[in-house]
């Protein structure tokens, strides 16, 4: 694993706002304004399902004016109740369990001109639709019984009956943002209630196309939206006599939002380089971006305050294993053996990289049984060994260039998100090493939105920059405790599966307890069925 250093930049001065916006509530006092430069691209379609959490094209995470049932701190293993004030778990004799969530009273949805009370029915809408139409939390909950097993006991209590219980469930459910007002989603819910599970799953496509109206459930609400800017504004203390910010201040008593201009401007600038330019030009006052030590020095000399923090993530290149010779596991391993990872991370100047030979969190490695570990292939810098592997499969080197058996030069094209300067710089070094070895390698940067929205998830590449994330914040439990390879691309089902497990099958692994830094976690029926194999083609540089 590599501990990758990113930079959080804050400028403690008042800047001039660069975007027009509308605010429904007027504040008299001028305060420092947060203008955040975001190194990414916002895909915004005015008539699209932007606030639909079930739509692949939603921008719920970008607008971010919703809060979870509870925040979770993976480093301390503690929850901070937000929408929920408490919850209980009752394990039943047959192994099923009742998960009951008790909600806070006196919270309201707000859209700038109207309010609606927040109740358990809003939580019901979020999970009922997900569980019945999208198979959420299967196999722990019987999705075909969603109508019976999700119960609103009163306006501020909701209960779930899980047919199988795992201690993961609270960590998955409680950090969920509730962004589904029942009144808005009632037409969808009413239709789902008339359907069996098969019909509901088919109807899920219609749900992803539903365009809900906007309602915020947080201290901030949306006041301006375009393909470049998202403005969110602090809610008023009271609106028509209804407590809004006054109630949020009870939940977050140490919040310092009143020290700043009530409107936060989120400015999408495409990449890290553009974000740095915005800071130097005084057009942005806040942001989190990846910079080299040299760039940090430039910002410091320019009067920009810089705070560095660690990013606990693994980074590397994933290879599409559909064409010769990359459909051969040993060849993909040879590519890994060609690259000096120390040189790669030095190209960017990472302060404290920590290397792990396998694409798995180091602290979990010893807990894997030998039957799993035998399939994970560690990387090592050994170009001579790599050359022998290529020759073994009929490739040959001539004039400093490797050729396929049919005489075609062996080349690789790597795609990456343009503007993500740290990733592109390190990958450029890796590409140069491959080219020096005799495999002509080209690195192409794509628009960030196209890369993450289309190219990467649809596996439209020969090789691409990839990463594995680890929990590092209150809202990160979902990424750490969910599907372990969530960030890898989907497989092209029209292409034959290229890998074979022992005897052609993938057998479940018996592991009744998974040991983590946050305590032991039991697994349903004592098994995990995630089949782990580094022959996926991931070159782990970290």
Q: Quote the CA–CA distance of 166 and 171 in Å, as a whole number.
A: 10
- Closest-CA residue to 260 (of 535, 518, 10): 10
All CATH 3.10.105.10 domain ranges in the chain, comma separated: 317-540
**According to the CATH classification, is domain 3-40+220-303 in 3.30.300?**
no
Phi, psi of 28, deg, nearest 5: -80, -40
Reading the block at residue 27, the tokens are 């504040």
Taking the whole predicted model, whether its pTM rises above 0.85 is answered as no
All CATH 3.40.190 domain ranges in the chain, comma separated: 3-40+220-303
Residue labelled with tokens 């894997």: 368
| Domain 60-209 in this protein, CATH class | alpha beta
pLDDT tens-place values along the chain, 542 residues long: 233 322 323 222 222 222 222 333 333 447 899 999 988 888 899 999 999 999 888 999 899 999 999 998 766 678 999 999 999 999 999 999 999 999 999 999 999 999 999 999 999 999 999 999 988 888 888 889 999 999 999 999 999 999 999 887 898 899 899 999 999 999 999 999 999 988 998 898 899 999 999 999 999 999 999 999 999 999 999 999 999 999 999 999 988 999 999 999 999 998 788 888 999 998 999 888 877 677 788 888 888 888 776 665 667 888 877 778 987 878 888 888 899 988 988 888 766 566 665 555 555 566 666 766 666 666 788 999 999 999 999 999 999 999 999 999 999 999 998 878 888 999 999 999 999 999 999 999 998 778 877 787 677 888 998 776 554 443 444 443 333 334 444 444 444 444 444 444 444 455 555 444 334 444 444 444 444 443 443 333 33
Q: Quote the CA–CA distance of 449 and 469 in Å, as a whole number.
A: 19
What does the pLDDT read at residue 115?
98
Helical H runs in 238-292?
245-251, 272-280
Q: Quote the CA–CA distance of 68 and 82 in Å, as a whole number.
A: 6
What does the pLDDT read at residue 353?
64
What does the pLDDT read at residue 488?
42
What does the pLDDT read at residue 72?
83
Q: Quote the CA–CA distance of 38 and 270 in Å, as a whole number.
A: 7
- Give, in order, the Cα–Cα distances in Å from 212 to each of 136, 194, 394: 21, 21, 58
All CATH 3.90.76.10 domain ranges in the chain, comma separated: 60-209
Q: Quote the CA–CA distance of 146 and 242 in Å, as a whole number.
A: 34
Q: Quote the CA–CA distance of 167 and 433 in Å, as a whole number.
A: 45
The superfamily in CATH containing domain 317-540 is: Dipeptide-binding Protein; Domain 3 (3.10.105.10)
End-to-end CA distance of the chain: give it in Å, rounded: 5
- Are 432 and 384 in contact by the 8 Å Cβ rule? The answer is no
Helix (H) or strand (E) holding 372: helix 370-373
What does the pLDDT read at residue 328?
81
| Apex 134 CA angle, 129 and 139, nearest 5 | 110
């Amino acid at each position: 694993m590599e501990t990758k250093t990113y930079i959080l930049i804050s400028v403690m001065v008042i800047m001039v706002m660069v975007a027009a916006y509308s605010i429904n509530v007027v504040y008299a006092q001028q305060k420092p304004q947060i203008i955040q430069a975001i190194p990414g691209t916002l895909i915004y379609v005015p008539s699209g399902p932007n606030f639909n959490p079930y739509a692949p094209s939603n921008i719920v995470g970008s607008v971010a004016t919703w809060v979870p049932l509870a925040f979770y701190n993976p480093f301390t293993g503690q929850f901070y109740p937000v929408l929920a004030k408490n919850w209980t778990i009752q394990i039943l004799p047959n192994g099923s369990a009742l998960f009951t969530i008790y909600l806070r009273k006196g919270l309201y949805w707000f859209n700038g001109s109207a309010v609606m009370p927040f109740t358990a029915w809003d939580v019901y809408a979020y999970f009922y639709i997900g569980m019945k139409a999208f198979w959420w939390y299967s196999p722990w909950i019987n999705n075909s019984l969603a109508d019976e097993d999700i119960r609103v006991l009163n306006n501020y209590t909701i209960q779930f009956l899980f047919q199988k219980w795992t201690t993961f469930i609270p960590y998955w459910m409680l950090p969920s943002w509730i962004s589904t007002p029942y009144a808005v989603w009632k037409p969808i819910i009413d239709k789902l209630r008339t359907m069996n599970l098969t019909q509901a799953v088919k109807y899920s496509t219609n749900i992803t196309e539903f365009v809900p109206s906007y309602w915020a459930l947080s201290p901030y609400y949306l006041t301006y939206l375009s393909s470049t800017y998202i403005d969110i504004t602090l809610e008023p203390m009271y609106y028509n006599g209804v407590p809004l910010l006054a109630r949020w201040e009870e939940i977050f008593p140490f919040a310092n939002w009143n020290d700043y201009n009530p409107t936060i401007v989120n400015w999408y600038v495409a990449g890290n380089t553009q974000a740095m330019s915005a800071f130097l030009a005084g057009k942005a006052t806040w942001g989190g971006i990846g910079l080299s030590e040299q760039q940090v020095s430039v910002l410091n000399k320019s009067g920009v305050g810089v705070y560095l923090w660690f990013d606990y993530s693994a980074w590397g290149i994933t290879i599409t294993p559909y064409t010769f010779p990359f459909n051969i596991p040993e060849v993909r391993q040879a590519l890994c053996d060609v690259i000096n990872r120390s040189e790669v991370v030095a190209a960017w100047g990472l302060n404290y990289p920590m290397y792990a030979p396998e694409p798995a969190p180091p602290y979990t490695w010893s807990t894997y049984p030998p039957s799993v570990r035998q399939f994970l292939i560690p990387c090592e810098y050994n170009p001579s060994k790599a050359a022998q592997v290529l020759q073994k499969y009929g490739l040959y080197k001539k004039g400093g260039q490797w050729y396929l058996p049919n005489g075609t030069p062996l080349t690789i094209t790597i795609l990456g998100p343009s503007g993500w300067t740290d990733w592109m710089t390190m990958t450029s070094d890796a590409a140069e090493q491959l080219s020096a070895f005799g495999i002509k390698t080209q690195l192409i940067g794509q628009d960030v939105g196209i890369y993450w929205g289309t190219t990467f998830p649809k596996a439209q590449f020969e090789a691409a920059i990839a990463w594995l994330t680890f929990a590092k914040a209150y809202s990160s439990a979902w990424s750490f405790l969910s599907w372990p390879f969530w960030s890898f691309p989907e497989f092209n089902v029209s292409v034959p599966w290229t890998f074979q497990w022992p005897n052609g099958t993938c057998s479940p692994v018996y592991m009744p307890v998974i040991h983590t830094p946050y305590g032991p976690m039991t697994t349903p029926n004592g098994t995990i069925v995630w089949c782990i194999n580094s022959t996926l083609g991931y070159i782990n540089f970290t």
